Chains A and B, each alone.
Chain A
Amino acid sequence: MTLLDITNLKTYYRAEDGWVRATDDVSLSIERGETVGLVGESGSGKTTLAKSIIRLLPDNAEIVDGSVAFDGTEITELTDSELRKQLRWSEISMIPQNAMNGFDPVYTVGQQIVQVIRYHEDGTSKAEARERARSLFDELGIEPDRVDDYPHQFSGGMAQRAMIALALALSPSLVLADEPTTALDVVIQDRILETIKKMQKELNSAMIMITHDMSVVSETCDRIAVVYGGRIIEIADAETIITNPRHPYTLGLRNAFPDINDDDQELISIPGTPPELVDPGEGCRFAPRCPFAEEACWEVTPEPESYGDGHEVECHRADEVELLQTEAGKKETWLEQEIGRPDDPTADRATAEVESDD
């Protein structure tokens, strides 16, 4: 059953030189209990997408178009107080990247968990809320008495567990985990991920797991959405994204994490820089960095194509899957000088546009 249904969502930031299209026409739906990973480079719009869901956006951001339906309720149309009372934390909670900074330093972790429980549940007494905090701590592998500790008394991994306790205190239907383990070292990272998975299974919560680390999503997610330049350019079940992706960007990302398809492969990175999100113009946003770009790629924005089983790809050449996969595995393919528009008419066009604007 569909829990969250995002359709054609556009969340833009107002900036000096125009609108930053951080989430640009994104559609994504999530089932109850499902874990969806959002992967992509820094600045691709993962956080913006997640925060749009609970409308936790900065003042200069605006949801310009599209809809976010949560369990049948249209979130973009709720008043602030409906949003706070009906959805925030009781239905949708979040785990931030740095848990240590996610707690208010002047209150104990327990006080903060009790506060949010009691705000959302009228009938719960302080003692009951406290007891729940203690048992959550216990389940997450923290000594229950530590609910009386202040955040600064926790280690990084411990604070992250405490943050998970906070996020799960009201058994939400959806948890937004924004790089929940990036701040931790690798060993602790794995254990935290396991804990998150275990708790999420128990509560049957859905989760959006944001990361730029392919190996994290491959371990934890049912489905993976690859985000590039404010758009989901490929989405499929985790297995397909790892073993049988069709989009050149996904193929490139996969190269950057060689250990996940244990081919004993060399680390190859994608040359170039993330795309301009102000006035991106027509054409595939990945074209300037794509070794497979053709004339059409520069002119026409690719539409999502379906390849069965919920596998959707935004690429003009996604049909040539064998060629793409073979070539993308070679280091020569990704050499910088081979990439870019051959006779580069874009440069001229861009200058011409700037001039005509004046």
Chain B
Amino acid sequence: MGLREYVVRRFLQLIVTFWAFFTLLFVLFRMMPGDPTSMFILDGMTPEQREQRIAELGLDQPLYVQYVEYIRQLLTGDFGQSFIYREPVTDIILIRFMNTIVLMGTALVFAYLIGVTFGALMGWWRNSRFERGGIIVTLMARSSPEFWVGIVLLSVFVFWLGWFPSSGMRTTGGELGGGFVARYGSLDFLRHLFLPALTGAIVYLATPTLLMRSTMLDVLNADFIEIKKAEGLPERTVLYKHAARNSILPLVTVAAIATGAAMGGSVVIETVFNWPGMGREMVRAVNNNDYPVAMAAFFLMGSVVILMNFVADLAYVYLDPRVEYE
């Protein structure tokens, strides 16, 4: 009962958060200082064109009408036309967003799987050569700049060994079209994905590794670990089922926030590997005053952050029975 109530309450909270976020975006984009219409109007328009454009965008309506219309558009996924491409924003953004999810998602999954395991073992074998070496490797990964990691991987695996293609998402054409499976399901795509995802994984690796290690050190001091050892259970069981299982809790929130942040894409990785993702698109949109695209990008990123926090809260309840619902 407590649990269901909590989920319902948390869900309502989610809706309120989304609403607040939508409104904030509206305020940011429509009520900026100066003439609110200026950013939707391009230079070199005749007065008639301007009038027509303003009417087209509904900017002559009272603010509350605009607000309602804006919410309606968001909910239907209609972000209007890009100023630059002259194409629906949704078409431009959605594909890039997917590309980013696939790239960053892969990087994060690897970073967290490897980081958690690695960190758990480092904590378990504290004061060993493995731990000391592990810390050095992790700190090196952490302090290496993204572009440097990318370029090193490129030179080794592409220019030297020739194992992977150097850039883009696919060999033929480089078009973004096609269905989801056609786009992301091919071996060719995976070969293109490998190096940029590895770069991301290396960059993300340090946080889960170091955090996991330090929580492990705390958990290993807990009385119950000693009892589990006294119970004669095999080391594996004590390590994974008890020590690591307890140490993973603080990582849930951290992983959720990292995922949210990663969905903005990485300008550096996308540039080094010529990956058509969100990061470069946003920079482009902002530089060219392509407001509809920029807004859609903000909208998607913010939504992911909010959603991931919701997921983290639910996961936490599932993983830690001590969580208070009150």
Closest to B225 in A: A104
Whether A116 contacts B231 in the complex (CB less than 8 A), given A150-B321, A152-B321, comes out as yes
Q: Hey, which chain B residues are within 8 Å of A90, CB to CB?
A: 232
| Cβ-defined partner of A152 (8 Å) among B223, B231, B322 | B322
Closest to B321 in A: A150
Residues 68 to 92 of chain A near chain B (Cβ within 8 Å)? 83-85, 87-90
Q: Hey, which chain B residues are within 8 Å of A85, CB to CB?
A: 232
Q: Hey, which chain B residues are within 8 Å of A101, CB to CB?
A: 222-224
CB distance from A337 to the nearest CB of B (A): 42
Closest to B234 in A: A84
Q: Hey, which chain B residues are within 8 Å of A96, CB to CB?
A: 223, 226-227
B132 close to chain A: CB less than 8 A = no
Contact A115 B233 (CB under 8 A): yes
Q: Please, how many angstroms separate the alpha-carbon atoms of A93 and B229 in the complex?
A: 11
Contact B246 A104 (CB under 8 A): yes
A94 close to chain B: CB less than 8 A = yes
B3 close to chain A: CB less than 8 A = no
Q: Please, how many angstroms separate the alpha-carbon atoms of A115 and B229 in the complex?
A: 13
CB distance from B296 to the nearest CB of A (A): 41
B5 close to chain A: CB less than 8 A = no
CB distance from B232 to the nearest CB of A (A): 3
Q: Hey, which chain A residues are within 8 Å of B242, CB to CB?
A: 104
Whether A103 contacts B233 in the complex (CB less than 8 A), given A150-B322, A152-B322, comes out as no
Q: Hey, which chain B residues are within 8 Å of A87, CB to CB?
A: 232
B51 close to chain A: CB less than 8 A = no
Whether A105 contacts B321 in the complex (CB less than 8 A), given A94-B227, A96-B223, A98-B223, comes out as yes
Q: Please, how many angstroms separate the alpha-carbon atoms of A54 and B222 in the complex?
A: 18
Residues 8 to 29 of chain A near chain B (Cβ within 8 Å)? none
Q: Please, how many angstroms separate the alpha-carbon atoms of A102 and B225 in the complex?
A: 8
Contact A104 B228 (CB under 8 A): yes
Contact B232 A120 (CB under 8 A): yes
Contact B232 A102 (CB under 8 A): no
Q: Hey, which chain A residues are within 8 Å of B233, CB to CB?
A: 84, 115-116, 119
Closest to A94 in B: B230
Closest to B322 in A: A152
Q: Please, how many angstroms separate the alpha-carbon atoms of A116 and B230 in the complex?
A: 10
Contact B231 A88 (CB under 8 A): yes
Closest to B228 in A: A104
B218 close to chain A: CB less than 8 A = no
A300 close to chain B: CB less than 8 A = no
CB distance from B258 to the nearest CB of A (A): 23
Whether A89 contacts B231 in the complex (CB less than 8 A), given A104-B246, A105-B322, comes out as yes
Residues 292 to 310 of chain B near chain A (Cβ within 8 Å)? none
Q: How large is the interface on A (under 10, 10 to 19, 20 to 34, 35 or more residues)?
A: 20 to 34
CB distance from B226 to the nearest CB of A (A): 7
Q: Please, how many angstroms separate the alpha-carbon atoms of A89 and B231 in the complex?
A: 5
Instruction: Report B191-231 CB contacts with A as 1/0, cut-off 8 Å.
Output: 00000000000000000000000000000001110111111
CB distance from B55 to the nearest CB of A (A): 60
Q: Please, how many angstroms separate the alpha-carbon atoms of A94 and B319 in the complex?
A: 28
B245 close to chain A: CB less than 8 A = yes
CB distance from B235 to the nearest CB of A (A): 9
B69 close to chain A: CB less than 8 A = no
A354 close to chain B: CB less than 8 A = no
A64 close to chain B: CB less than 8 A = no
CB distance from A234 to the nearest CB of B (A): 29
Q: Hey, which chain B residues are within 8 Å of A98, CB to CB?
A: 223
Whether A106 contacts B234 in the complex (CB less than 8 A), given A96-B223, A101-B223, comes out as no
A56 close to chain B: CB less than 8 A = yes
CB distance from A178 to the nearest CB of B (A): 10
Q: Hey, which chain B residues are within 8 Å of A89, CB to CB?
A: 230-232
Contact A56 B321 (CB under 8 A): no
Closest to A169 in B: B231
Closest to A115 in B: B233
| Cβ-defined partner of A93 (8 Å) among B224, B230, B320 | B230
CB distance from B51 to the nearest CB of A (A): 65
Q: Please, how many angstroms separate the alpha-carbon atoms of A166 and B237 in the complex?
A: 17
Contact A106 B319 (CB under 8 A): yes
| Cβ-defined partner of A102 (8 Å) among B224, B234, B237, B320 | B224
Contact B321 A102 (CB under 8 A): no
Closest to A97 in B: B223
Q: Hey, which chain B residues are within 8 Å of A103, CB to CB?
A: 224, 227
Q: Please, how many angstroms separate the alpha-carbon atoms of A59 and B229 in the complex?
A: 14
Contact B321 A106 (CB under 8 A): yes
Q: Please, how many angstroms separate the alpha-carbon atoms of A85 and B167 in the complex?
A: 56
Q: Hey, which chain B residues are within 8 Å of A106, CB to CB?
A: 245-246, 319-321
Mark A residues whose CB is within 8 Å of B: 54, 56, 59, 83-85, 87-90, 93-94, 96, 98, 101-106, 115-116, 119-120, 150, 152, 166
Give 8 closest A-B pairs by Cβ, nearest first. Answer: A88-B232, A101-B223, A84-B232, A150-B321, A89-B231, A116-B231, A104-B224, A102-B227
Mark B residues whose CB is within 8 Å of A: 127, 222-224, 226-234, 237, 242, 245-246, 319-322
10 A-B residue pairings within 8 Å (CB atoms): A84-B232, A84-B234, A85-B232, A88-B232, A93-B231, A94-B227, A96-B226, A96-B227, A105-B246, A116-B232
Can you add 7 more A-B contacts, CB < 8 Å, to A93-B230, A96-B227? A84-B233, A89-B231, A96-B223, A104-B228, A106-B319, A116-B232, A150-B321
